[in-house]
Amino acid sequence: MTDDEMIQGVIEGNASAFDEFYTSTKAHVERVASFFVGDEDSMPAVVVGGYKRAFDQLALGKKPDIPLRSWLSILTVQEAFHVLKDMRISYDSQTKAMEAVAGQVPMLQEITQDPKERVAYMVRGDIDDMPEPHRAIMMMYEIEGLSLLELSKRINCSWCGAVSKLMMARQVLVKRVKEQFGL
Amino acid sequence: MIELNVDEINALARVFLTGRGREEQLQQAQEVVEEDPQFPLELLAQMQSALDDVPPYGFTREQWKIVDQRVSALYATRVRRHFFNPIAWLLGLFKSAPKPATTAGAEAEPKRRWRGAAAPVEDVSSSTSGDGIEDMAPISAVPTQVKSAPVVTRRPIKIPWGLIKALLAVTLLVLVGWFVTPWIKAYFAKPAPQEPAPPPQPKGPPRRAAPASAPNDEPLPAEIAPQDPRSAGALTVDGQPAPTWVPTPLGRRASAPTRKP
């Protein structure tokens, strides 16, 4: 069955076309989703959501005007983007929380007024005492200055997986600082 | 609708994935990802290049089971149940298989060769025009066997599929008609005229017959009047039942009751 026949069969509600559509594309959709949310709990939801988008559009009679797998890639990334965006928002709010904690440390208040510099000093002061693998991740991101994309490449992890590990390492650091200074 | 050029899309995707964008850029990315299909593809391309086109993890077998079930449930509600359509089935019998489309530049599909048939040998000697020496093929190129041997080709058996299908269709129609016609007749047949209902019997206790020595001469009602035994069909001869005609194998013969001397 060709791609066009599968798409036409799905539009007509043919059960065998649905089966063929899914079995022939699921490995591709899984691969696309794993780049972004590979080792996260939300990955099944992303794959299912991608297929839901595809079936919804085909139910309306909208045939893709690009190759089937490229079209499914777009739909899967659109579905994964919600997870990425939520993670970005959590990451940004955690950054602000770290700056707030660093601003409460008296020693750092004397050193500089820049909140980002305070965070950098705070990280350098406690990073050696952090447990692995949090220390390695904090080293790569805060000391070496890798971006989130480079971090995911370095630890061979999906984008969400890298951000998730970085946020966990930051939590460990903040907890140590709060315990040290009684915040 | 936000329209961005390729460079802006690349920059926006990079800013988002590196985590260095501001809140406005995050908002812009959220709007663009649904409107411009180029942006999701750019996000994917940057992730693929960052990870050397090797995705980190896939589903485990248990996760696949869950995903398969969920996607199956997703499209199970969209499957349309088609009832058997005999007309479509009959039409499908006569529908020939689609021929493979050949493009203009592509070579046509070679004809089917049957086993045992020798491949025809091309007659090289006639390929040159013979006008000049430059047209002549070198001696090494000229095959020793110039003429091909007589090719024995087996004639393919042609099965009359169309005729078989037509016969099948006609047989099916006849069978269906044979089974269905009695029901159709029974359905459209007029109902048989019903016999008139018997007059209603008078209700109440049965009346007693009046005594024979009734003082008045008025005729008795038909119900209680003494009936003529002949009309009642109970003829008697000397107190014995009247002879009746009983059909016998030898003909009709009266079975007379035995008379007393």
Per-residue pLDDT of chain B (261 residues; tens, 9 = 90+): 667 888 889 999 999 998 887 888 888 888 888 888 899 999 999 999 988 888 887 788 888 898 899 998 888 888 877 666 777 777 777 766 555 444 444 333 333 333 334 444 444 444 444 444 444 444 444 444 444 445 555 666 778 888 898 999 999 999 999 998 888 888 888 766 666 666 666 666 655 555 555 455 666 666 666 665 555 555 555 666 655 655 555 544 445 555 555
pTM score: 0.59
Under 8 Å CB pairs connecting chains A and B tally to 127
Distance CA B145, CA B124 (A): 10
Of A55, A89, A159, the CB nearest to B47: A159
- Say if the Cβ atoms of A156 and B80 lie within 8 Å: no
CB B26 within 8 A of CB A85: yes
CB B40 within 8 A of CB A81: yes
Among candidate residues B62, B13, B27, the one with its CA nearest the CA of residue A41: B62
- Whether residue A100 lies within 8 A of chain B, CB to CB, comes out as no
Sign of CA dihedral B247, B249, B253, B254: negative
B245 has which bridge partners? B254
Strand, coil or helix: what is B190? coil
- Reading the block at residue A180, the tokens are 């040290």
- Residue in this structure with the two tokens 């999906």, named with its chain if needed: A158
- Say if the Cβ atoms of B18 and A148 lie within 8 Å: yes
